[in-house]
Each structure stands twice: as C-alpha cells, then as structure tokens.
Amino acid sequence: MNGIRRDKVAAGFTNSGARSGDKLHTLTSLAVFAAQHHMHWVSLGLPPGWNSSTGSEDNMNRLGFFMGAGAQTDVDAPPDSVHASDVATCHHLGQRVTTVTRQLNLGRAATAPEASSAPVR
C-alpha cells in the first residue's frame, strides 16, 4: 500500500431513500477504509436533531448520525430535492473537516523539526 492517503483527513456522508437505509453501515465502511489507509477520520460533531417533542425535521442532523452526515431523499424525487436540513448538516461536516485539517496542519508545523536541527534517527 502506498502512502498517498496517509495522515490525510477523511469524513463521509451518505444518502438513501429510507430514513435508515443502512447509512450507518456505509459510514462505518468508509471510516474503516480511512483507518486502513492511516487517515484521520472526522466525525459530525453534532447532537442528534429531531428527537424531542420540540424538535422538527428542520433540525440539523435530523436523522441522528454521529460518524458522518446522513441524508434522506425520496427515491422518486429529483436529485436537487435533498432536504434543506440535510444539506446544512453536510455543510457543517465540511466546515468541521476544514477546521480539523487546519488544526492538524498547525500542529504539524509546530512540532516539525527545524531545518537546522540534528537529523531524526
């Protein structure tokens, strides 16, 4: 295995027609694949939405995923009809990936050996 993906940041999103639709299995498979390639997996970082009497389908993470973003679209709906809260949840995940990548890069820069220091053995 080459190291092209090693230490890169990874995250996942999935969409299906059913509310569940094995989306968790899809996200788990992607996370395992990322781990096999020595990547850093970024979770959604949101509590589940739409799980109380005051919640609604307009809450972000309305389907309640933790490992990544999950969306639901009716199978007979056009491709651009993804629920607005699912789109917002995916945007949130994208922002989180950006933040984690920035943090990882800053950490690498802060801990990198200086060019003038002795070589690492």
**Domain-embedded: residue 74:** yes
**Domain-embedded: residue 112:** no
**Domain-embedded: residue 66:** yes
> Residue written as tokens 């850093």?
40
pLDDT of residue 116: 54
**Domain-embedded: residue 111:** no
List 9's β-bridge partners, or say none. 40
Domain hosting residue 40, numbered range: 9-102
User: Cα torsion for 21, 25, 26, 27, to the nearest 10°?
Assistant: 120
> Residue written as tokens 């990322």?
34
Q: Cα separation of 63 and 57, whole Å?
A: 8
pLDDT of residue 1: 56
**pTM value > 0.85:** yes
**Domain-embedded: residue 108:** no
pLDDT of residue 120: 55
Consecutive sets of 10 residues in the chain, 121 residues long: mean pLDDT of each?
Answer: 88 94 95 98 97 96 97 94 97 98 96 67 57
**Domain-embedded: residue 47:** yes
**Domain-embedded: residue 4:** no
**Domain-embedded: residue 13:** yes
Domains in the chain: how many in total?
1
Work out the angle at residue 94's Cα, subtended by the Cα atoms of residues 90 and 95, and round it to the nearest 5 degrees: 120
Contacts of 21 (CB under 8 A, 6+ apart): 72
